[in-house]
């Protein structure tokens, strides 16, 4: 039993590993450039939201999805879009995601006396959190940016460590700007949420590495975000 459990968590998709080791320094430069661009755009999106109340998250994140796909038109699997192990990845992610929602949203909110939001609002939230947020982050970061760090970092564990810090920091610019805070003023708020985001990053990365597609990670990512999308 113990051996089977260890093998389960050590499982890796061969195609994913082959792709990881096929990237070049040019791929790394492109990936880092995209990462910097996203950070800048998120910051200015936060400034606009703080000053005018306008929110352009849908447009920005859909644009990020399109840009990532354009970069990988010759082989979309190099952005994590693949049918390999699709059913397995979806099933394991749904199980984990449902447990997460029940544990961290449904039970606590029902105990606190809150009611479910109307179904149409829940569906709108689901589209936003699963597609606009989860899918855009998974395809752009887990599918594209993070694996292309390998030519410079050389070791998988270092790719996932540095990648994790980069992923968590993606949430910094918008939140800092929308709150009208300086880098140092927002730092305590960032550090409070960073550990859990880092843990989730490693789970999402494990799902991608294990099954060779980003759909499982996207589903779990969406479930995590939907903890605030079910109750009013």
129-156 CB burial, b ≥16 within 10 A, e <16: bbbbbbbbbbbbbbbbbbbbbbbbeeeb
What pLDDT, on a 0 to 100 scale, did the predictor assign at position 156? 93
Residue range 128-160, pLDDT digits in tens: 999 999 999 999 999 999 999 999 999 999 999
First to last CA, the chain: 43
Residue range 70-126, pLDDT digits in tens: 999 999 999 999 999 999 999 999 999 999 999 999 999 999 999 999 999 999 999
Q: Environment class of residue 101 by beta-carbon count within 10 Å: exposed (0-12), middle (13-18) or buried (19+)?
A: middle
Domain ranges of the chain: 9-228
Residue range 55-74, pLDDT digits in tens: 999 999 999 999 999 999 99
What pLDDT, on a 0 to 100 scale, did the predictor assign at position 5? 40
Closest by Cα among 28, 117, 88, 123 to 212: 88
Helix (H, G, I), strand (E, B) or coil at 117: coil
Query: Would you say 216 and 207 are in contact if contact means Cβ atoms under 8 Å apart?
Result: yes
The answer to whether the predicted template modeling score (pTM) of the entire model surpasses 0.85 is yes
What pLDDT, on a 0 to 100 scale, did the predictor assign at position 33? 98
């Amino acid at each position: 039993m113990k051996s089977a459990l260890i093998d389960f968590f050590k499982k890796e998709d061969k195609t994913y590993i082959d792709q990881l080791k096929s990237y070049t320094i040019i791929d790394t430069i492109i990936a880092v450039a995209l990462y910097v661009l996203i950070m800048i755009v998120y910051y200015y999106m936060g400034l606009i939201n703080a000053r005018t109340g306008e929110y352009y998250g849908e447009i920005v994140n859909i644009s990020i999805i399109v840009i990532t796909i354009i970069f990988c038109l010759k082989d979309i699997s190099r952005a994590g879009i693949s049918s390999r192990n699709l059913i397995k990845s979806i099933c394991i992610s749904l199980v984990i995601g449902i447990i997460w929602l029940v544990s961290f949203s449904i039970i606590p909110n029902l105990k606190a006396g809150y009611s479910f939001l109307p179904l149409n609002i829940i569906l709108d939230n689901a589209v936003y959190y699963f597609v606009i947020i989860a899918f855009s982050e998974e395809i752009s970061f887990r599918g594209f940016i993070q694996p292309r760090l390998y030519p410079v970092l050389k070791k998988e564990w270092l790719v996932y460590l540095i990648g994790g810090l980069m992923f968590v920091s993606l949430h910094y610019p918008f939140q800092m700007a929308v709150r009208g805070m300086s880098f140092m003023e927002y730092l305590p708020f960032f550090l409070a949420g960073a550990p859990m985001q880092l843990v989730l990053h490693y789970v999402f990365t494990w799902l991608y590495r294990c099954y060779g597609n980003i759909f499982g990670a996207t589903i779990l990512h969406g479930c995590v975000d939907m903890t605030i999308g079910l109750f009013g």
